[in-house]
Structure 1
Amino acid sequence: MNRFVGRSRLEWWANQSIFLEMYDIDITAADDAVGKWRATGRHANALDATQREGWDFLMEMDPHFSIAFPGEDCGGITVRVVEAEDGTLTLVEAPDWDGSVSVTFDLS
């Protein structure tokens, strides 16, 4: 991919079988000078309170998502997502991410 401008979908997978959530985003994506894929964008629709709570929870647990482009059934590129205070999303390809994360829950 050299450049893409349009709507995509971020998918958060707990593992290869368990899909938890997806978010439509409007992005501009391109390969940078060293050939690494990068994108910036925003949520396509403002998140309501419940969606925002879910988004924040997933981002805190692990900010890696799969990104799906129009015509794709599921995401093929793993990206690390960073959200700025103004809501701008920065996505960087994370090809070395192995899908593992260490999470500790306090259930007391």
Structure 2
Amino acid sequence: MDGFVGRASLEWWANRATCIEKYDIDLIVAIDAVGTWRARGQHANALDATQREGWDFLMEMDPYFSIVFPEEDQSGILVSVVESEDGTLTLTEASEGDGPAPR
């Protein structure tokens, strides 16, 4: 993938068999000359109060999600997610050993 603009999913996995929650996001991914990618986006739909509470809880527990792109192999890439006050999400590919075990 050279880059991506569109909708993807952030999935929070408790373990290899249990996906706790899935969030659709609108995303822009840019990849530099050495293959490092950076992504920024936002929730595709505004979160209601219950969804916001769940999102905040998961972010506080562990801000590592699997990002799944449409029409890809669905294996996901482990990313660290940071949300700014304006709701912008910044995703960074996680280093080996970060976050939970990949699915």
Structure with the greater alpha carbon radius of gyration: 1
Where in structure 1 do 4 or more consecutive aligned residues deviate above 3 Å? 72-75
TM-score by length of 1: 0.85
- Report SS of the residue matched to 1:6: strand
Alignment gaps of 5+ in structure 2: none
Of the two structures, which has the highest relative contact order with CA contacts closer than 8 Å and spacing of 6 or more?
Answer: 2
8 Å Cα contact 1:12/1:66 also seen in 2? yes
Q: Whole-Å Cα distance in 2 between the matches of residues 99 and 21 of structure 1?
A: 14
Alignment gaps of 5+ in structure 1: 101-108
8 Å Cα contact 2:62/2:99 also seen in 1? no
Q: Whole-Å Cα distance in 2 between the matches of residues 20 and 55 of structure 1?
A: 11
Q: Where do residues 3-82 of structure 1 align in structure 2 (5 Å cutoff)? A: 3-72=3-72, 74-82=74-82
Give the count of matched residue pairs. Answer: 100
8 Å Cα contact 1:12/1:22 also seen in 2? yes
TM-score by length of 2: 0.89
Over the matched positions of the two proteins, sequence identity in percent amounts to 68
